[in-house]
Structure 1
Amino acid sequence: MNIKNIAIIILTLGLISHVQANEYDVTEVSKLMASYEQLGRFNGAITIKKDDKIIYSRGYGSANVKTEVNNDSDKVFAIGSISKQFTASAILLLAQQGKLSLADPIATYLPYYQNEVGQKATIYQLLTHTAGIPDPMDTGKGIDGDNDPLMHEKTLPVTKKSLIDSFKDLPNSFEPGSRYEYTNTGYILLADIIERASGKTYADYLKTYLFEPAGMKNTSASRPDNSPLLVESYSGIGSDKVHTTKIDNSWLVGAASLYSTTGDLFKWVDAMNAHKIFKDKKFDYLLSNPVDLRRNNEFYGYGMEMTTLWGQKAYRHDGATAGTVADFIYLPERNITIIIYMNHVHNVSNIDLSIDMRKKIIQQVSGILLAHKTPDIVSLVSNNTIDLQQYVGRYAFDDDHQIAITLKDNTLKINTIGLKNWTLYNLAQVTHLPPDQFTDTATKLFNLLNTNELTKLAEIFDEQMASAPLDVFQGFWQQLEAELGALESHYSFSKSNDNDEIQQRLIFEKGIVDMSVFFDKDGKIKGIQNSSPIPKEENGFTSKLLSIEGDKLLIDGYVIKQHQDLILKFTRNNKNQITGFSYNQMVEHQAIKQ
């Protein structure tokens, strides 16, 4: 690489701008998405339809790394919980056909729910997540197939009976109808009700009564493994991408099992509004009797949420499966539909970061379309004037915490050194928590795992965690040790405001792992979740630095496994020599050049 090819980043301030003559000029959308792509932030596709016209359609990155097929709007992707609106529509259609009533107790159709819950909970409550049936699938541990021993079973087929048996006899989370709590189990039961009321399989009923009338030729209730259009999914942003092991569809039928394309989802909206599905209803039928979520004027109807974007009514639902996140937004007052999917996401234990990024993109894109707002854009351009050598050197925050900036192959790298174990997560920000009930319990957890005293885990686990086989936790720990060597030290470094979560930094011989430990109200551990390991290089943890305008360098947030980038602001003396840098991450930190 020569100096002319060095990339710098220019940060464009978010200012209000007016679009050109075309009310829906998508030039700014194109600039925004290009910036995400150039920084490795976005791999997927986004398509926008206004009335009968596609006004923006673009794929970014690979749909299949092995075959080198690129993403675009014609690709078939896992839509996750966007599937719920189709399950709901099938139930509504059966109601119109007189084969069931939304007011019916679920015991009317489900012989295995003849208990008190089955007699009280109604089909309407399943549709609106108000039945109170617990969701044992939602463990909070992430889903990453072979890389996650706690969730490995979901990559294998399961019978409908076995799946339903896993939750049908559990005590209800709350009295049916008393409140809202989003679950997958309600929609799994709805799929079974569809089959029992119609006499058809779930897949056949949706194909006959929903997909075919809408002209949705590339939508299916199972993974189309032989389709050349199929999008594969990957975990890991940056250099640590891995192909994601798929959840078997048998775990998700009714809740999140469908595959589709952006084009077919547009056809679905058009078909609903053209009365091809319901003779006298349009798309807003899905929001005809919603429950109030009691947050920011949001409501949940039949497999669809109603909210507002920039003052406009919006019908939407998102979806997330292993390695893929997606969003479906329909703005009825503007007749605009936005479909987005990402198939390269954060390592699954941190998939919330990819979900947050998808939400941010939707907010920015809708802001351009609806409010003529130009978002903050970080974009790459070439520059041949920057002198990278001037930043090279050792910088000290204190005697214990130092960093070294080096230059190799025209690329700056920042390496943590010094007497204390620390990483680019927080640079010099030391946030050790004092001992208390939670930090002591979390510390005991990792001591027991490290010393293989697994039988003592039952003392600190809640009932659900204690029921897991001990070899699951042993395998989980052995996997970490195989990759990172022996555990050297660990400490607590953050806690939730509700005192139900504490984070531990585990420092192994060859790298670090951050783990969240979740507690119930009695102080027992109810779950653990880990970030992807950060490998250790030589005597510290290294990341690339990207040059930005002026005396600023940016540490790519996705490289350091954080959601936000970290900008270092360099200082100079009257001789124009660099004397140190500062950065602000909750508090101001200063480093002096040695």
Structure 2
Amino acid sequence: MKVQFDIQAIVEDYNQSAAVPFSGAVRFRDAAGQSAERGFGYANRSEQIRNEPDTRFGIASGCKIFTAVAICQLAEQGRLRFEDLLGDVLEQEFPRFDPAVNVHHLLTHSSGVPDYFDEEVMSDFSELWRKVPAYSIKTPSDFLPLFQDGAMKFSPGSRFSYCNSGFILLGLIVERLSGQSFTSYVEEHIFKACGMTDSGYFAMDRLPERTALGYIDRVDGADGADGAGWRTNHFSLPIIGGPDGGAFTTARDMEKFWDALLGNRLLSEEMTSQMLTPHMVVSEKSRYGYGVWMTYMNGELFKYYVMGSDPGVTMVSSAYAGAQPGCQLHVLGNIERGAGAISSRIDSALAAVRSQ
């Protein structure tokens, strides 16, 4: 079915009540394959360089799905099983972890391992890097001192609790079994395989062309002697991304990724199905598979999606199911809010079309 939206009007409607106008790129493709896209705001405020549809953005936790695909690829090759215990696939010591933690638990945020950034009790990611220099975090193993000796939160498999540390551990597994650095593995076996030529794990102090700087806004304008009320996120994130977040990509490249994943070009049909199975019930409408969220409406699958939020980063990337197969929406921003609200507006419109 051909369904299109006025992206400009939707973003302007959001901006009317937003403390900070949306800055980023939006791309929508309907089930007939017709696309609309637009950039908003500035990729570089100081130089007045505007965001365009092909601008690269950081996507924070939106790239956990890449880690999950990497693990599923290794499982498909027979190098591990989802039932494998953490102690059997990693050599590092975790003295207070439950020995029953396995790969499936890590993929589904049900392991109970301590999180270096526990979103149930912490809200400011940048606070972490006041004691640990962000420029020192370059590989998955660099995160280990932040949680390796911590105590379990709950028994493995007993409940869902979003856990960044679990995906750090998955990245270490990828490195050990593949013999490659985590970022090299993803860039070769996922980005290259999908034709995602604008995507990568770029260093914050060496960003390539067409990459948006992330902005942290102070709504009261109190930050900065010039009254600008904003700063970049360069000192608020690890210098290079990894298994739990921090890749850069474009809206167009995310469309390529979903096409490859759902077209069984990254994994076999059976393994793709296992990855997209709703392993954990998070709420009435939300489920979680392996590195991927799902929304259910009236008991039926509405969409698969990933989302990310960091200082200076907001994103939601969705692939719709049911009555809108092939329909995709990608909202990538270089500020801290907006992607979720804009996505929700289009979700509601699509749900209305679906019910007709």
TM range (shorter): 0.7 to 0.9
Counterpart position of 1:423: none
CA apart distance, 1:252: 5.0
The aligned amino acid for 2:342 is: I
Counterpart position of 1:550: none
Aligned length: 337
Counterpart position of 1:261: 250
The structure whose Rg is larger is 1
Q: 2:303 aligns with which of 314, 319, 325?
A: 314
CA distance in 1, matches of 2:200, 2:235: 16
Q: Give yes or no for the alignment of 1:368 onto 2:346.
A: no
The aligned amino acid for 1:182 is: Y
Unaligned runs of 5+ in 2: 222-227
CA apart distance, 1:282: 7.7
CA distance in 2, matches of 1:38, 1:104: 51
- Aligned residue for 1:200, secondary structure, equals coil
CA apart distance, 1:360: 2.5
Q: Is the 8 A contact 1:274 1:282 kept in 2?
A: no
Counterpart position of 2:57: 77
- Aligned residue for 1:46, secondary structure, equals strand
Q: Is the 8 A contact 2:55 2:211 kept in 1?
A: yes
CA apart distance, 1:219: 1.2
Counterpart position of 2:11: 33
The 10-residue stretch of structure 1 (177-186 or 224-233) with the greater mean CA deviation from structure 2: 224-233
Q: Is the 8 A contact 2:233 2:312 kept in 1?
A: yes
Q: CA RMSD in A?
A: 2.7
Q: Give yes or no for the alignment of 1:49 onto 2:29.
A: yes
Unaligned runs of 5+ in 1: 1-21, 346-353, 374-594
- Aligned residue for 1:216, secondary structure, equals coil
CA distance in 1, matches of 2:60, 2:239: 13
- Aligned residue for 1:296, secondary structure, equals coil
Which has the bigger relative contact order, CA under 8 A and spacing at least 6? 2
Q: Give yes or no for the alignment of 1:180 onto 2:160.
A: yes
Q: Is the 8 A contact 1:154 1:247 kept in 2?
A: no
The 10-residue stretch of structure 1 (249-258 or 54-63) with the greater mean CA deviation from structure 2: 249-258
Cα distance change of structure 1 residues 251 and 45 upon mapping to structure 2, 3 Å threshold: closer
Counterpart position of 1:528: none
Cα distance change of structure 1 residues 283 and 247 upon mapping to structure 2, 3 Å threshold: farther
CA apart distance, 1:160: 4.4
TM-score by length of 1: 0.53
- Aligned residue for 2:136, secondary structure, equals coil
Counterpart position of 1:512: none
CA distance in 2, matches of 1:93, 1:318: 22
CA distance in 1, matches of 2:263, 2:311: 34
Q: Is the 8 A contact 1:223 1:258 kept in 2?
A: no
Q: Is the 8 A contact 2:53 2:251 kept in 1?
A: yes
Cα distance change of structure 1 residues 41 and 277 upon mapping to structure 2, 3 Å threshold: same
The 10-residue stretch of structure 1 (78-87 or 269-278) with the greater mean CA deviation from structure 2: 269-278
Cα distance change of structure 1 residues 91 and 316 upon mapping to structure 2, 3 Å threshold: same
CA distance in 1, matches of 2:239, 2:87: 23
Q: Per-residue CA shift, 1:33-53, capped at 9, x if unaligned? A: 134457752111211112463
Q: Per-residue CA shift, 1:176-230, capped at 9, x if unaligned? A: 1111110100000000000001111111211221111111111112337341111
Counterpart position of 1:234: 215
Q: 1:327 aligns with which of 310, 316, 323?
A: 316
Q: Give yes or no for the alignment of 1:219 onto 2:199.
A: yes
Equivalent pairs: percent with the same residue? 24
Residues 153-552 of structure 1 aligned to structure 2 (within 5 Å): 153-158=132-137, 160-223=140-203, 225-236=206-217, 237=219, 240-249=229-238, 252-281=241-270, 284-288=273-277, 290-293=279-282, 295-308=283-296, 313-333=302-322, 334=324, 335-345=326-336, 354=337, 357-371=338-352
Q: Is the 8 A contact 1:107 1:118 kept in 2?
A: no
Q: 1:140 aligns with which of 102, 111, 122?
A: 122
Q: Is the 8 A contact 2:201 2:241 kept in 1?
A: no
CA distance in 2, matches of 1:33, 1:80: 22
CA distance in 2, matches of 1:318, 1:211: 18
- Aligned residue for 1:94, secondary structure, equals helix
CA apart distance, 1:54: 4.3
CA distance in 2, matches of 1:284, 1:276: 13
Cα distance change of structure 1 residues 172 and 319 upon mapping to structure 2, 3 Å threshold: same
CA apart distance, 1:127: 0.4
CA apart distance, 1:299: 1.4
CA distance in 1, matches of 2:16, 2:285: 36
CA distance in 1, matches of 2:291, 2:110: 12
- Aligned residue for 1:153, secondary structure, equals coil
CA distance in 2, matches of 1:155, 1:247: 7
Counterpart position of 2:67: 87
